[in-house]
A and B are shown apart, each in its own frame.
Chain A
Amino acid sequence: MISFRSLFASTWMGIQHDLAWTTPSLAIALRTVAPFASAMTVSIIYWFGVTQSGMALDPTRLAYILVGSTLYAHVASYAWVPTIAIAEGKNLSVFPHIYLTARSTALYVAGRALSAFAISTTTSLAALAAAYFALGSFLHTSIVLIVTPASLFMLAVALLVNIPAALGLGYFLGAYSLYASKFEWSLPGYIAGLLMVFSGALFPTSILPWPVSVGASYLPFTQFIAASRDALIYGRVGDYLWSIGLSALGGVVLLSVSVWVYFAAEKARKDGVIDRRLA
C-alpha cells in the first residue's frame, strides 16, 4: 500500500516536472507539436513517393503509416524518461536524496515513466487527430480510421498492455545512467531511431533482411503497433488479440529481465558513483 503511495507520488512529481514549468495546457500543446510534425513528415513522404512514382494513393496504407508513426513517437517519448530522470537527478543532486528515502529508486523511476506515459498518451492522440485532419486537408484524401467506442477501447487496452515493455526498456537504459554520467543524453535519439526501423512503425518488418525481420516482428513494440492498427484500421479482432497477447508476453519478459539488470546496476550505490555528475 505504501509502495503504491510512493509510486503515485513519483508519478505526480513527474507530471509536475514535465508540465508545470509553464501553463500545463501550453506544455501539452508544445509537446504535441513534435509527434504531429513527425507524423505529417512520414505521411507526406508516402504521398510524395507514390504520386511521383505513378502509383495511386492508398488511404489504408496512409492510415497504416499515420498510426504507426504516432505510436512509435508515443513509445519513444516515454521509454527514455527513466534514463533522463536518473541523469538529470544526478546532475541536479536529486538522485542521491531518492536513495536516502525508504523506497527503492526503481519505484521512483516507474512513477516517472508512468507520468510520461500519461502525458505522451494525451499528446500522441492529439497529434494523431490533428495530423488526420491536416493530411485530409493538404492531400485531399480521406484517411480510413475506425473510431468507435469499441475500437477506442481496444486502443486503450493496447496502450496499457505496452507499459511493461516500455518500462522494461526504460529500466535497461536507466541501469546505464546509474553507472555512466556521459552520453546518456544521446540515448533518446538512438531509441527513436531504432524504433523507427525495427518496430514496424512505418513499413512492415518483413522488408528487413532475415533474421532481423523475424526478431523485429516479435518485439513487443511491433506487436503493440500491430494491435493498434488492427483496432483502428482493419477492425480484425482475432489478429488484435494475437498481437496483444504477444505484446503482453514480450513485455513481461522484457520487464523481468530489465528489473534484474536494474537492481544489479544498483551496485553503483556501493561503488559510490550515484552522485557522480561527470564521468
Chain B
Amino acid sequence: MRARALVRLWSIFGEPMWIIVSMGFPVLSSLALSLLYYSIGATNYVGFAVLGGVMVAFWGNVLWSMASQFNWDKQEGLFEIYLTSPASITAILIGMSVGGIVGTVPTAVIVSIIGWVLFHPVVAASWGAVALTFALTLASLYALGMALSSLYLVYGREAESMNEVLQEPVSMLSGIYFPSIGSFSPFPFAVQIAASLIPLTLGMDALRKSLFYGEGFGAVSFDLFALAILAVVFLAGSAYSLKALERKGRRDGTISVRIR
C-alpha cells in the first residue's frame, strides 16, 4: 500500500507542473459558478460554489485516477504484474487512493484560497464535524472509485466514455454546487433517494451544514453513519469483484489481454 501511494505521490510532486495542470478545471469552474451566484445577487451562497470546486477536484481524481487506472495499467501491462506480486489488490487500490488524496490536496487548497480571496464566503463552521465529514466523504468516495475500477476492467475500452458520461450527471445529482437532497432540492423524492447512494451527495450535504450553518455532529450524524456504511460496502464490493475478476481472468486466460 505504501509503495503504491509513494509511486502516485512521486508522479505528482516529482513534476510540479502536474499540480498546475490538474487544477485547471476545478479552479475555473469554481470561479465561474461563484461568479454566477454573485451575478444573480445570491452572494450568501458563493461558498457553495467554492466548496464544490474543492470537492470536484477529488471527484475528478476518483474518476480519472482511480476508476480508470487499472484499465490503463492493464493496457500498459502493469496489471498482470500486480496480480503476480504478493501484494493484495485491495492494498494497491488503497495505496492509490491515499496517494490520490494527498496529490489532490494542493488543488483543493488553491481553489479554497482563490475563492476566499475573491468572494469572502460567509463561513460559520463546526470544524470538528467538518473534519470528520470531509474524511468520511473522501473515504467513501475513493471506495466508490475502487469499486468502479473493477467495473471498468470488465468494460475495457468503454471506460473513458463511461467516465465522460458519469462526470457531469453525478456532479448534478450529488449537488456539488447546490443542495440536491433535503427541503431545498429541486428533485423529486425518488431522485433524491437514488442520488443519496452516491457518497458525494451525503458528503456535500453534511459539509454544507457543518461548514456554512455551524451544525455539529448531532445534525450530520445520519449523513456520517450513511457515509461510513457506503465506504464499507464499496470497499468490500471492490475486493470481492476484483477477486472474482482475477479468478475469471485466470480461468479464461484473459488476464494479460491488454486491449479488449
Contact = CB atoms under 8 A, between A and B. Distances in A.
Interface of A: 21-22, 30, 33-38, 40-42, 44-50, 52-53, 55, 61, 65, 138-139, 183, 186, 189-190, 192-194, 196-197, 201-204, 207-208
Contacts, number: 123
A52 B35 contact: no
A35 B186 CA distance: 19
Contacts of A37: 168-169, 171-172
Contacts of B18: 183
A1 B37 CA distance: 51
A202 B25 contact: no
A132 to B, nearest CB: 15
Contact of B41 (A45, A53, A138): A53
Given A34-B168, A45-B177, A138-B186, A196 B40 contact: no
B164 A34 contact: yes
Classify the interface of chain B: helix, strand, loop or mixed: helix
B184 A186 contact: no
Given A34-B164, A49-B37, A50-B40, A190 B32 contact: no
Contact of A45 (B24, B33, B164, B168): B33
B116 interface: no
Interface in B10-47: 17-18, 21-22, 24-25, 27-29, 31-33, 35-42, 44-45
Contact of B186 (A34, A38, A47, A202): A47
B88 interface: no
B165 A186 contact: no
Interface centre among A40, A45, A186 (most CB of B within 10 A): A45
Q: What's the dominant secondary structure at chain A's contact region?
A: helix
Interface string B158-174: 10010011011101100
Contact of A46 (B24, B36, B171): B36
B187 interface: yes
B157 interface: yes
B157 A202 contact: no
B179 A196 contact: no
B28 A190 contact: yes
A52 B24 contact: no
A193 B27 contact: yes
Contacts of A189: 24-25, 28
A189 B32 CA distance: 13
7 contacts: A30-B164, A34-B167, A45-B36, A48-B178, A193-B25, A202-B39, A203-B36
